[in-house]
Amino acid sequence: MPDLLEKIRAREAKVGVVGLGYVGLPLSLSFVRAGFEVIGFDIDPRKVEGIRKGESYIHHIPSAEIQAGVASGKLRATTDFSLARDADCLIICVPTPLTAAREPDLSYITGTAHSLQPHLRQGQLVVLESTTYPGTTDECLLPILEEGGLKAGVDFHLAFSPEREDPGNARFKTSTIPKVVGGYTGRCLEVAAALYGAAIERVVPVSSTRTAEMTKLLENIYRSVNIAMVNELKMLCHRMGIDVFEAIDAAATKPFGFQAFYPGPGLGGHCIPIDPFYLTWKAREYGLTTRFIELAGEINTGMPLYVVQRTMDAMNEQGKALKGSRILVMGVAYKRDIDDMRESPSVHVIELLLQRGALVDYHDPFVPALPHMRDHKLAMSSVPFPPATGAYDAAIVVTDHTAIDYQALVDSVPLVVDSRRATAKVSRHRERIHTA
């Protein structure tokens, strides 16, 4: 009987992907395109049923690709975790949120591990992709998987490979983004690298699972810190009467030593607002305080309040109070041209406006209704656009979707607070625009 490495090279290994969200679904399709049979596992029966019907529930993934995978027999989905025994390789792509105390919540990882463990067999490969602190794979995942008597690195292979998805990115997709892989042993690394190398253009092997875990945190903390810097500069530039975007664009003409980051209403997505806190929590175990990272988190977390305060100031200049005013929030996805609501700053902006007595609507062509969110309860649906003239006292641009006619927005609303520079090309009624 061929070993796992031979089966991978022959495209005969079955791949199981646990978690069919923004990471797991595109990863599953990448393996299908590479010729592998894929079993998708999820606890949400709606996602499983959507795949069975060939219907995409993620905007940037076309239904036709799912339909093709299902029709070929290469893609199937299930809520039955006992089928994990049929998979040769199991890749875990589940959420890793923060608790209310802003500490790591590994319940999805541990829950998945307990669901898989009874069905684990000799020779399988298990890879964790969920973003987490260094040590999670060997300290948290490994002991659960070994409860049945099988030993990692001896009876089954274990690895960590951080997801690097960027929803809506037209330049890169799963198969073209280099894949960092760290193994529990050298043989684990060899097998995991072979699996990803069969579906992804470039694999970047590192010496351990902990190095791979740290790599992902480093990438996202780098962005978090630099975004915090320009967010802080945005507030200073406003006081000084300087256009921070103009200054950044000018600095970006330097051909070396500078990379442009742009300010906004706060951070969104599953990674950048959360990952730094995973490392700050873990650092305390080693007696260190990551003050630089924590300060960046404080600045970025405070940006929604800054946007609301700028809106209140701009309305005061027009002799209006926020309380009782009708406010239109433009865009609720965490970034432009996607339907991903995870950690979106728009939710915080809406809640802050409601707390201050405003009457709030939103428009987002990608989010027809606000989904159920773990920490927020907002039953709202997108309103038509453009709004009737006089329907709103102010609008706040939180997400700069490219399909929006911002000239029509400015024409329809007496005050537009723009946190994304979306109205830069508007020609009429420039006096109605306030930046935030």
Q: Give the tens place of pLDDT for each residue, 75-93.
A: 999 999 999 999 999 999 9
For each of the domains in the chain, give its residue range(s) and CATH number, in order of start: 4-207 (3.40.50.720), 217-299 (1.10.1040.10), 302-435 (3.40.50.720)
Element holding 207 (H helix, E strand): none
Helix-, strand-, coil-residue percentages of the chain, each rounded to 5 = 40, 15, 45
Q: What integer is the mean pLDDT of 21-40? A: 97
Q: For residues 311 and 350, give the distance between their C-alpha atoms in angstroms, rounded to a whole number.
A: 12
Q: What integer is the mean pLDDT of 211-232? A: 96
Q: Is the pLDDT of residue 248 over 60?
A: yes
Q: What integer is the mean pLDDT of 345-368? A: 97
Q: What integer is the mean pLDDT of 260-275? A: 89
Residue 320 pLDDT level (bands cut at 50, 70, 90) = very high
Residue 391's SS3 state is coil
Which residue is listed with tokens 């591990």?
A: 113
Average pLDDT, the chain: 95
Residue 1 pLDDT level (bands cut at 50, 70, 90) = very low
Q: Is the pLDDT of residue 55 over 80?
A: yes
Convert the pLDDT of each residue in 145-194 to its tens digit.
Answer: 999 999 999 999 999 999 998 888 889 999 999 999 999 999 999 999 99
Residue 275 pLDDT level (bands cut at 50, 70, 90) = confident
Catalytic-role residue among 89, 188, 237, 271: 271
Query: Any catalytic annotation for residue 237?
Result: no
- CA-based angle 280:278:260, to the nearest 5? 80
| Cβ-contact 209, 184 below 8 angstroms | yes
Backbone Cα Rg of the chain:
24
Question: Is the bond preceding 386 in cis, omega lying within 30 degrees of 0?
Answer: yes
Residue 430 pLDDT level (bands cut at 50, 70, 90) = very high
Q: Is the pLDDT of residue 373 over 80?
A: no
Residue 39's SS3 state is strand
